[in-house]
Amino acid sequence: MEYGQQPVWRSVGLLGRSADGPVFGPGNCEKRLLWAASLLCVLLDLQLPGLLAAGQAEIDNHLEMGRKLLAAGQLAEALSHYHSAVEIDPKNYLTYYKRATIYLAMGKFKSALPDLSKAIELKPDFLAARLQRGNILLKQGYTQEAKQDFEAVLKSNPDDAEAQNQLSRVTEQEFSMQEAQTAFQKKNYLGAVSFLDRVIEISPWVPEPKELRSECYLHLGDYNKAIMDLKPTTKLRNDNRAAFLKLSKLYYNLGEHEESLTQVRECLKLDQDDKDCFSHYKQVKKLTKQLESAEEHIKAQRYADAIEKYKATMKTEPNIEIYTIKAKERICHCLSKSKRTAEAIDLCSEAHQLDPRNIFILRDRAEAFILNEEFEKAIEDYQEAKEFDAENEELKDGLERAQKLLKQSKKRNYYKILGIQRNANKQEIIKAYRKLAQQWHPDNFQSEDKKKEAEKKFIDIAAAKEVLTDPEMRQKFDSGEDPLDPENQQGGSGHQHQWASEFNPFGSGNFHFKFHFN
């Protein structure tokens, strides 16, 4: 305070005295209150313009920052500035409207609605807010409330094209919903779907039309479309246990047990004591555990254990065919891999009847046919599988191998020479070889013709043993290539003599056999 300047209370004659004596004297309560009030008014009169100016500047700053952040796409940061603007001046309709636009940009339509309503409350003739609120109400299915907003806009501005268009959409939504319900009651599900398409287009945030269209798709047998309609409804209701349970059952019936488990767990999150959800959860959980265990056994090549697990799944769920088909498909695979050829062919054929377009069943039966030396049938299965998936490299390779094996079988089949199965182990191969070598040793025969015939067979027996006891050569033979066939080696037929002499136990090659018979 500068020299000679009086305090405010002195300049206005408020020294604590009045014409009747000191204000602070005893018995002057009313006078003291009047004095305080007068002082406060004087102070406010002096400071209010400055306070209002500072407050408005801060509001303007927040609004400007919000506008810039909104333009930059930083919605959350923009929203915080609009929050501040509303807190400083809760009576400004424009700040509510601008904050509502941020909520709309963020997809938070429920949050935008109260701000739009507040803006309209503060300024009833604010048409932009009424139009925005009407649009949101229509999308939420509140047609009567939306109609009131659009009519209010048209009352002030009869030429507003958007309000006119939206008002006609209100009428169309109400009409289409009525017609859809009538069609559904008459079991005209396709007709109901047609009307519901329009209802959902106009009011996408309403669960009932989606639920009704989902029911129509179920009656029409289109489970996938039913699921697509039902899924969004779980977010449109706060407690939608019924939708989660229904989704879980739909996925379960489609064979998607893992997704079924996910959906029923969502139901139990809302209420862990829900009896229907818990009962279904136990069933899905048990089946899922069995299926996962079976697949783990297959990965570890424990095929017998996998077969038992898949048999258990058919007992757990005997009523839904897709799980029976799945189990038989995988049992077919296990039998083929474990080289139980006769069982594999029978089981795979049974599975093929249930699911004729399943390429994996055809592939596994083809492999079983190969093990059983039925190459023509293997070729047929691979060709049929390729019709369903022409670009599958595994099927291409399998078909090529089956064709090579068929061609090979017409020349020399080492398994047939030794009289053994394709899945024979090394011990079985050597045992068969010794028995035949002893049987066809030329020393057992007297005439020259018989000796020559025995020598030829003995060479074949020795060649078969050599190829099938060598892992690399056996693998080549099993893939359709004879490692001893001169056609498969450089030089072609010119090496026929060398190839034959290598396995001639009576020539000068590397193999010399001496048998002593008791």
Tell me what pLDDT residue 321 has.
95
Q: Tell me, what's the pLDDT at 451?
A: 78
H-helix or E-strand spanning residue 123: none
Buried/exposed code over 479-491 (b: 16+ C-beta within 10 A; e: otherwise): ebbbbbebeebee
DSSP for 249-315?
A: HHHHHTT-HHHHHHHHHHHHHH-TT-HHHHHHHHHHHHHHHHHHHHHHHHHTT-HHHHHHHHHHHHH
Cα(279)–Cα(184) distance, integer angstroms: 31
pLDDT per residue over 424-477, tens digit each?
888 888 898 898 888 888 888 888 777 788 888 888 888 888 888 888 888 888
Distance CA(373)–CA(341), nearest Å, equals: 10
- pLDDT value for 14: 37
Place of tokens 């037929």: 493
Q: What is the pLDDT of residue 449?
A: 78
pTM: 0.68
Reported as a pLDDT band with limits 50, 70 and 90, residue 56 is confident
Q: Is the pLDDT of residue 260 over 80?
A: yes
Quote the CA–CA distance of 228 and 210 in Å, as a whole number.
Answer: 9
pLDDT tens column, 263-303: 999 999 999 999 999 999 999 999 999 999 999 999 999 99
Query: What's the whole-number average pLDDT of the chain?
Result: 84
- The CB density around residue 284, as the number of other CB atoms within 10 Å, is 23
The H helix count followed by the E strand count for the chain is 25, 2
Q: Lowest-confidence range among 173-187, 188-202, 398-412?
A: 398-412
Taken in order of first residue, the domains within the chain and their CATH numbers are: 324-410 (1.25.40.10), 415-479 (1.10.287.110)
**What would the pLDDT profile of 388-412 be if each residue is shown by its tens digit?**
999 999 999 999 999 988 887 777 7
Residues 157 and 131 sit within 8 Å (Cβ to Cβ): no
The string of pLDDT tens digits covering residues 141-171 is 999 999 999 999 999 999 999 999 999 999 9
